[in-house]
């Protein structure tokens, strides 16, 4: 009897081809679109958004074409509580969260997996570009996708062993061009659909406007200051800014200046030169490791401080309260509180956590 897989389908080319690959591997496949946020007219005009009605319809058409059942599951309550509320709270404290990582941790590989298993599924699957394997002692590990330009292992560091045991990532062994070619060859109209770039619940990428609407009030204004504490002008609320930002500050300055620090307690934003953004040491919290349970001694790793950055060599050192110190061999630019830091050993995902504070 074929193993049953419940596949998360966004309406994009990756999850659509994942359905085909799973069928070809002999699985019984059920397609599910996770409804996590209300779309609006503005969102409907954007191609590829995972919350839009058009994307649900794309997923439904693909399922019909492949001859698999298709359903929509409602995860709005969990998503608002675990992802959106956290997103708002983090920005209001001067931090810059990554909602995709929170969604993977709490929704796609937790709530979704639990519901799928309650329906009798053996596995869930997604269209992520990463690979699941086992090491020599039988422990599940995550590897980068074959297509390093599309690798999505950065957003998957919160996997547990149980989740890995019940998750399939069929796209991880292919590059993006191959996935598009397969979609075209089997007659899926999504083969040339653009990848979604925006935060799924913020279609215009204006997170400040979104937060303002959600909290129902204007953010508190404060001061821009320089490194010596001199007032340079007024900011319109810390939710509108992030570390490394230069454009959109709203004040005239004699030279290019960048956001180098956000002080939530004082409601102040420090501006400085580009070189002030480069740091070598920071603390990380809320850690998860995949090849082992806990970090018990210093470990040399490759460090990635944001999804779009390249890796840098460094060492991670366990400290008190379940946190670690990350020491980079070369400084990185704009290490940002609230973002995720992820660790690798060659193509193996070691784990990751949340950047808590810079030390230098």
Catalytic residue positions, numbered: 103, 200
Work out the number of other CB atoms within 10 angstroms of the CB of residue 86. 16
Give strand pairing partners of 144: 130
Q: State the distance between the two ends of the chain, measured CA to CA, in whole angstroms.
A: 58
Strands 258-263 and 268-272: antiparallel
Tokens of 120: 């009798």
Please give the Cα distance from 326 to 279 (Å, whole number): 11
Q: Which residue has the tokens 């089997």?
A: 186
Burial class (CB in 10 A: 0-12, 13-18, 19+), 157: buried
Query: Which positions ≥6 away from 175 have C-beta within 8 Å?
Result: 146, 147, 149, 150
């Amino acid at each position: 009897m074929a193993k049953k897989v419940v596949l998360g389908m966004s309406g994009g080319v990756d999850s659509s081809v994942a359905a085909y690959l799973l069928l070809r591997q002999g699985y019984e496949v059920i397609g599910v679109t996770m409804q996590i946020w209300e779309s609006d007219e503005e969102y409907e005009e954007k191609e590829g958004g995972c919350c839009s009605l058009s994307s649900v319809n794309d997923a439904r058409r693909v399922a019909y074409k492949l001859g698999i059942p298709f359903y929509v599951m409602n995860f709005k309550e969990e998503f608002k509580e675990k992802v959106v509320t956290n997103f708002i709270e983090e920005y209001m404290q001067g931090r810059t969260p990554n909602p995709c990582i929170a969604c993977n941790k709490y929704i796609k590989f937790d709530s979704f997996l639990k519901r799928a298993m309650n329906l009798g599924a053996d596995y869930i699957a997604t269209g992520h570009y990463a690979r699941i394997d086992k090491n020599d002692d039988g422990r599940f590990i995550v590897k980068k996708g074959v297509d390093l330009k599309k690798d999505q292992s950065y957003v998957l560091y919160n996997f547990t062993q149980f989740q890995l045991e019940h998750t399939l990532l069929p796209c991880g062994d292919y590059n993006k061009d191959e996935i598009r070619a397969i979609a075209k060859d089997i007659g899926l109209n999504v083969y040339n659909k653009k990848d979604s770039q925006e935060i799924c619940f913020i279609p215009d990428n204006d997170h400040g406007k979104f937060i303002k609407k959600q909290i129902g009030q204007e953010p508190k204004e404060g001061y821009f200051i320089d490194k010596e504490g001199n007032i340079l002008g007024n900011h319109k609320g810390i939710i509108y800014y992030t570390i490394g930002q230069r454009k959109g500050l709203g004040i005239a300055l004699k030279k290019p200046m960048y956001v180098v620090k956000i002080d939530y307690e004082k409601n102040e934003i420090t501006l400085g030169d580009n070189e002030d953004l480069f740091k070598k040491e920071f603390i990380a919290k809320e850690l998860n490791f995949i090849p082992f349970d806990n970090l018990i001694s210093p470990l040399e790793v490759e460090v990635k401080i944001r999804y779009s950055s390249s890796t840098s060599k460094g060492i991670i050192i366990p400290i008190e309260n379940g946190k670690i110190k990350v020491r980079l061999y070369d400084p990185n630019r704009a290490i940002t509180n609230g973002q995720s830091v992820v660790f690798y050993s060659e193509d193996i995902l070691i784990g990751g956590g949340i950047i808590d504070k810079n030390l230098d």
